[in-house]
Structure formats: structure tokens, C-alpha cells
Structure 1
Amino acid sequence: MSEPASPSVSSLYEQACDQAIAMCDGNLRSTIKVLIMANEYLEAELRELQATVSSDRAPARLSRANGDAA
């Protein structure tokens, strides 16, 4: 059996958790709060993008990409 060339997904998540906690000076409550805020921001961005695409107001580069695929 061969060894994986890159760290496992689990270890990458562990590293990301450690980094997030360290950025909040070890305060777990602050870490969770920041992650919730980041998630809400990303959800709002996604809703905005979905609304733009569904209302056919897609930016020119998205329209070109779709046109090239046809």
C-alpha cells in the first residue's frame, strides 16, 4: 500500500482549528463567534450571487463562459 502524498483532510481541519483558536488568543467563545460571522457573510455572498445568476444579471465574464460552452 502506498502512503498518501498529502496530509489527510482530518489533519488539515485540525490545523485550521488550531490556527483559528490561536488567532483568537485561545478564546474558544470568540473563535466560534468569528466563525459564525464568517459563515453568515459567505451565505449572504452566495445568496447575492444566486440572485444575480437567476435574474440573468450575470457579469459579462459568466455570460461569456456560458456562451462558449454551448
Structure 2
Amino acid sequence: MEEIKATITGTLHSFEKHAGDDVTKGETIAQIESMKMLIPIEAPNTGKIIEWSVTAGDFVNENDSVGMLD
């Protein structure tokens, strides 16, 4: 298992992929709003989203764990 980490400090805006979805390395899986811009969180590797540990609207800091990938 591998952690999915926030790429920047901001508010978790939306999820492009949900628990159980297969993802490809580099694919946008969520977005963070920071300074009125949407910044993608990309899949660190190919695998399956196990869970998200945050919800849309949560504040996250750069490098916070926001989910798990298998």
C-alpha cells in the first residue's frame, strides 16, 4: 500500500476517482483549491484506490496523507 499525498496546501476541492477505482500512474485523481486555482493530485503509481481519508472541503497541508493506493 502507498499513501496518496496532498501536492500543495489548500482545500480538497473534488475527487476524480473513488475508493475501488483503478488508476494509472500520473492520472489526476483529486483536486486541491489553492489561491483560487485547482491543483491536481496525481496517482503516485498504477493501482486501486483503497480509501480517501479526507472529504471534499477539508483543509490539507502539503504532503499530508489524503488516501491510500494499493
Q: TM-score, normalised by structure 1?
A: 0.18
The structure number with the bigger radius of gyration is 1
- Comparing both chains, which one has the higher relative contact order based on Cα–Cα distances under 8 Å and sequence gaps of 6 or more? 2
Flag the structure with higher helix content.
1
Q: TM-score, normalised by structure 2?
A: 0.18
